[in-house]
Chain A
């Protein structure tokens, strides 16, 4: 199985350590991973804004980069959601369908495809609050959502609970959106920032030292809100913890 690694633009530019951890983790798990150098973006910002025709160039490039791989893995729920569910600015050829059907968010790839049962190298001696992005929670369904009253399940929690030393706390409103929302974060900046502050305070008051997430876009926003509001909490991508980061 040949894996193509997609690193979303904001991870590339602002959280390269999350990208590096994703690559190293997949390699530690014995995977054959390649990162096509000419990648940019999955097209989500244009798609989510309604400017779908403007997503065409990014989507076409994405397919050119990744059609040759058996599986495409990315450390981002929202990008995976875009590719899987909304990637239709370009004609739906066999190649495009192959790419869409074989794109995985990192957690679901580890949990459902590789079925990883141990991370012997991982130890994280901190108290963490898990932030499930809305993309992972309600689109990719990697965890149960409170709206449905379904039997609780959480793929990220299944993975994290295999890490030595880690402790968990649950905020009061675990499923509430943090307010990033792509361009929403700037077009509706006041509401967005308020949602972000409420989110980080909720985790902090629950006793979390760290907010861990499979989505760096939510983290970029939450971190900005926490720093401005003076909420002393740290942020880390789930790939980093699973790859053995100590802090």
Chain B
């Protein structure tokens, strides 16, 4: 994997050049945010739910090892095989071995961000396993060989015309179809035989319940249920942070998840998996992949509360105008920008800067992750770890010095009459340079406030008023 920092700004600039895609993307996601607001207004207890969800998650994370062991013990009693994966490689190896033991060559799977994190598909394909995504958006992304651009709606950056072209290539449908229903039908027709002939099915898991040893998968298309139940072998890949202690805790999250994500009261399917079906086998792979390390990071551990609803993406004005792929990472948007650097600090060092720190994300987050404050804190960490480009670092260093010396600062401002031309050269040519690309510069003024004050107020006062230290 390349360590080169992701150039979010350039990718975003590219995204902005395509007006129809940009407009659809912005409006579609903004519509989801508004629908989420509508659901929030229907529940007077919304803020209490968020508080409760946050409290449950923080409690669980503070005792994660105990709850994980409790889950393992209870899941085994339910006849579920439980595996532990330290990282992506171990996860892929475990899944590969399970499939091999069953001589399974055709795997169907529902959407799972953890398998993206582990880069599982290429690994299994090398072993001769055909992996088919059954979620519509995820399948579109698979066929187009792209990462999901959004954790809930993976192909939201595409228009129906893009999908029609992709399907025409792989499904030999008419490339001019514009009706989304016809496209969905094409996917259904292509997917059904694959599902019926699959040897194994894979799902993720939205919630894992420690006291019952069960897990819950929430979807809208029913594809996870097909993936889990048509083949006799079901493998669920789940991050270790997805735990809740009790079944009674689950309701809080089920009420928040789909309302926050899509603005619908609940997902079409909320399936509780309690054990293998008759004659079948069920495996749960619990994946760490950096989560334990993150749990030990004082400023960033609460990012593990995330339930992957995508509300922070939908509300983020930067995400809506740059597209998920511009983040160059499995997780995009505000939540991605605070967890991606834990996977690779250098590569994702630019992402915490892909934000205005406006704070909307934090306030829609159903589990109250202080996302924008973590973005701010990541910037400090990245600078301390020398992950800021040299030029920007130097500019900040020089600006900081100048701001501490009022006489020099005034001299710099006054080099000529007050105008942009009087700004220190390094500021003008390095820092402000891109300002004018899509914007006019601020207008020069006749005198600064400081000059005005000296002329109009200081002269009227006795000399003692202008005492200053140093």
Contact = CB atoms under 8 A, between A and B. Distances in A.
B440 A188 contact: no
Contacts of A138: 358-360, 362-363
Interface string B312-327: 0001011001100000
A181 B406 CA distance: 25
Interface in A91-125: none
B16 A194 contact: yes
Nearest to A39: B406
Name B's interface SS. Answer: helix
Residue from A7, A12, A55, A225 with most neighbouring chain B CB atoms (10 Å): A12
Interface in B352-391: 352-360, 362-364, 376, 378-383, 388
B131 to A, nearest CB: 34
A132 B432 CA distance: 24
B350 to A, nearest CB: 9
A194 B359 CA distance: 19
B441 interface: yes
Given A51-B397, A181-B357, A195-B317, A149 B41 contact: yes
A11 to B, nearest CB: 6
Contacts of B41: 149
A149 B37 contact: yes
A46 B449 contact: no
A156 to B, nearest CB: 17
A183 B183 CA distance: 43
Interface string B96-127: 00000000000000000000000000000000
Interface in B411-425: 413, 418, 423
B40 interface: yes
B193 interface: no
B454 interface: yes
Contact of B399 (A13, A46, A148, A179): A46
B460 interface: no
Interface string B226-249: 000000000000000000000000
Contacts of A13: 413, 418, 423, 442, 445, 448
Interface string A198-230: 000000000000000000000011011101100
A45 B449 contact: no
Contact of B355 (A64, A181, A190): A181
Given A146-B37, A149-B41, A223 B440 contact: yes
A31 interface: no
A193 B441 CA distance: 12
A201 to B, nearest CB: 13
Nearest to A34: B465
Given A12-B449, A61-B404, A179-B317, A48 B357 contact: yes
Interface in B436-470: 436-443, 445, 447-450, 452-454, 457-458, 465-466, 468-470
A66 to B, nearest CB: 12
19 contacts: A7-B449, A23-B453, A37-B450, A38-B406, A38-B469, A40-B404, A51-B393, A52-B380, A55-B400, A56-B400, A60-B404, A61-B403, A147-B364, A149-B37, A173-B30, A179-B317, A183-B353, A191-B12, A224-B440
Interface of A: 7, 9-16, 19-20, 23, 34-41, 43, 45-46, 48-58, 60-61, 64-65, 86, 134, 137-139, 145-149, 173, 175-177, 179-197, 220-221, 223-225, 227-228
Given A49-B392, A189-B434, 7 more contacts: A23-B453, A61-B404, A177-B356, A190-B438, A223-B442, A227-B439, A228-B440
Of all A-B residue pairs in the complex, the 5 with the closest CB atoms, nearest first, are A57-B404, A50-B379, A54-B400, A181-B356, A193-B438
